[in-house]
Amino acid sequence: MPDLPPPRIASLVPSLTELLFALGLGPWVVARTGFCIHPAAAVAGVPKVGGTKDVNHAKLHKLAPTHVLVNPDENRREDAEALAIWVPHLLVSHPGGPQDNLDLLDQMADAFGPWIDATALQRLRTDLLEALALPAARPARRVLYLIWREPWMTVARDTYIARMLATAGWQTWPDAQGGATGAARYPSLQGSEPWLADVDEIWLSSEPYRFTAADLPGAQTLAPQARVRLVDGELISWYGPRAALGLRHLHAMHAQSGPLWNSSNP
């Protein structure tokens, strides 16, 4: 271990919390949000400082972190600006697609290199490069990826989720760009959009809204011709150690999709 003061790391991003532990940085994680639930056994002993969008600044300040990890999609700008006043190192990450996980690994190595498990870092990098090298399946299937209901909400094509899907041969609809930040990244639906008639599949994510089988019939009404299924949102939308696994899972889903079917014809 280097002859340097060890870091005191607070993560306000669930997927980055998991990444810290995957890189062997768990002993120096001093704070997390209530949504940072993986790895379950390891994070159980780490103090919670509120949620991703309602950070308890007073509690976090008492834990005296030297590094705080934030993300524009997960955290509020005003929270990041307030933290930047007193936190020595505010690490902002915003992967725009699965390939950006390579830059994320570099960012972690630059910030915490002396304390990182080098073998784990190389394993994650190699696994990701292999998954990124998989050829996208053809033809691309059109998918409506739902993250919320009342109203129905989906993802723009320039989000991490949409680019994850596109890398494996899934084209998200609508054909919309959301920009770097803001509500346009997650457009809402009226349910009468003409393009819904051409959707092959509708996916109901497990987060941020936890869809269940009870939501399948309602989603089916959006596109009666489409296959509707529940999907693991963490596997598709989380950065870090789930990225490579998520890509392989998406490729497998495409390969196994076979003839189109819907929730009334499993």
CA distance linking residue 43 with residue 21, whole number of Å: 9
> What's the CA dihedral at 128, 235, 241, 32 to 10 degrees?
150
Which pLDDT score is estimated for 4?
82
Per-residue pLDDT tens digits for 42-97? 999 999 999 999 999 999 999 999 999 999 999 999 999 999 999 999 999 999 99
Q: What share of residues in the chain are helix, strand, coil (percent, to 5)?
A: 40, 15, 45
Per-residue pLDDT tens digits for 174-185? 999 988 878 899
Which pLDDT score is estimated for 1?
56
Which pLDDT score is estimated for 258?
45
Give me the CATH code for the 141-256 domain, please: 3.40.50.1980
In the chain, which ranges are continuous DSSP H helix?
14-22, 40-43, 57-62, 77-86, 101-112, 118-132, 160-167, 216-220, 233-237, 243-256
pTM of this structure: 0.91
Residues 141-146 have a mean pLDDT of 97
Is residue 262 predicted with pLDDT exceeding 60?
Answer: no
Domains 9-131 and 141-256 share a fold: yes
Mean pLDDT of all residues belonging to the chain: 93
Which pLDDT score is estimated for 263?
35
Residues 187-196 have a mean pLDDT of 96
Token pair listed for 172: 């998200």
Superfamily classification of domain 9-131: Nitrogenase molybdenum iron protein domain (3.40.50.1980)
Domain locations in the chain?
9-131, 141-256
Percent of the chain past pLDDT 70, that is, above it, reads: 95
